[in-house]
């Protein structure tokens, strides 16, 4: 059964089975995205997913199908995660989560990619993960984040540049200081 049919069944008939089917179909992918963005704050990803589904359940009647359901749900989930971060005041004025210690450049892939991602601002991390990891198009990212496709492209370019720079500066895993 399509997402649209499941949504109709839930909205028009209150069919809980239809909602459970949507949840089972989309939660793993949305949670995976939230988990990559939240980094070590696993509870933020857990809570953001729960908040997103609560919001989606109350707003399903307003879903117009202008984008894929998962794109719509991802936008809600990203907003929930951002709200959690704002409430916790985890992001400094520049939007960086935490600085990465600078060491000699290297090309060892032992550095945890997630650690380097965590050093990017939320805006850069979101677009990089959505595009390069999740495979969203710039148009889908624009819909999920409420930005223009051109903004998505420019953020992705900058995010890739920052990631490369920080990857080269990251300490080699297991290396002694």
pLDDT tens readout for residues 100-158: 333 334 444 445 777 888 888 888 998 998 898 888 899 999 988 889 999 999 999 99
**Does 103 reside within a domain?**
no
Enclosing domain of residue 81: 3-88
| pLDDT tens readout for residues 45-59 | 999 999 999 999 999
**Does 33 reside within a domain?**
yes
Residue 159's nearest CA partner among 116, 113, 127, 131 is 127
Instruction: Judge if 14 and 80 occupy the same domain.
Output: yes
Secondary structure (DSSP) of 65-111: SSS-HHHHHHHHHHHHHHHHHHHHT-S-TT--S-PPPP------TTS
Instruction: Judge if 17 and 84 occupy the same domain.
Output: yes
Distance (Å) of CA 19 to CA 9, 36, 52, 128: 8, 25, 13, 30
**Does 95 reside within a domain?**
no
**Does 131 reside within a domain?**
yes
Q: Residue 27, SS3?
A: helix
b/e map 18-45, b = 16+ CB within 10 Å: bbebbbeebbeebbebbbbbbbebeebb
Instruction: Judge if 121 and 73 occupy the same domain.
Output: no
Instruction: Judge if 25 and 75 occupy the same domain.
Output: yes
Question: Does pTM top 0.75 for this prediction?
Answer: no
d(CA 7, CA 75) in angstroms, rounded, equals: 17
Instruction: Judge if 68 and 21 occupy the same domain.
Output: yes
Instruction: Judge if 72 and 124 occupy the same domain.
Output: no
What mean pLDDT, rounded, does the chain reach? Answer: 82
Give the CATH number for residue 120.
1.10.10.10
Cα 139 from chain centre = 15
Count of domains forming the chain? 2
Instruction: Judge if 78 and 12 occupy the same domain.
Output: yes
**Does 99 reside within a domain?**
no
| pLDDT tens readout for residues 78-92 | 999 988 887 776 444
Residue 149's nearest CA partner among 161, 136, 162 is 136
**Does 71 reside within a domain?**
yes
């Amino acid at each position: 059964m399509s997402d649209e049919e499941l949504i109709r069944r839930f909205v028009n008939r209150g069919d809980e089975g239809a909602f459970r089917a949507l949840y089972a179909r989309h939660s793993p992918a949305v949670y995976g995205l939230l988990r990559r963005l939240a980094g070590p704050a696993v509870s933020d990803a857990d809570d953001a997913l729960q908040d997103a589904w609560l919001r989606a359940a109350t707003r399903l009647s307003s879903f117009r199908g202008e984008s894929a359901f998962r794109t719509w749900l991802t936008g809600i989930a990203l907003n929930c995660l951002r709200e959690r971060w704002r409430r916790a005041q985890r992001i400094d004025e520049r939007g960086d989560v935490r600085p990465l210690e600078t060491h000699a450049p290297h090309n060892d892939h032992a550095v945890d990619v997630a650690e380097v991602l965590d050093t990017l601002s939320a805006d850069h991390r979101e677009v990089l993960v959505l595009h390069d990891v999740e495979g969203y198009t710039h148009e889908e990212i624009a819909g999920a984040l409420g930005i223009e496709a051109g903004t998505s492209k420019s953020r992705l370019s900058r995010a890739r540049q920052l990631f490369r720079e920080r990857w080269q500066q990251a300490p080699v895993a297991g290396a002694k200081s």
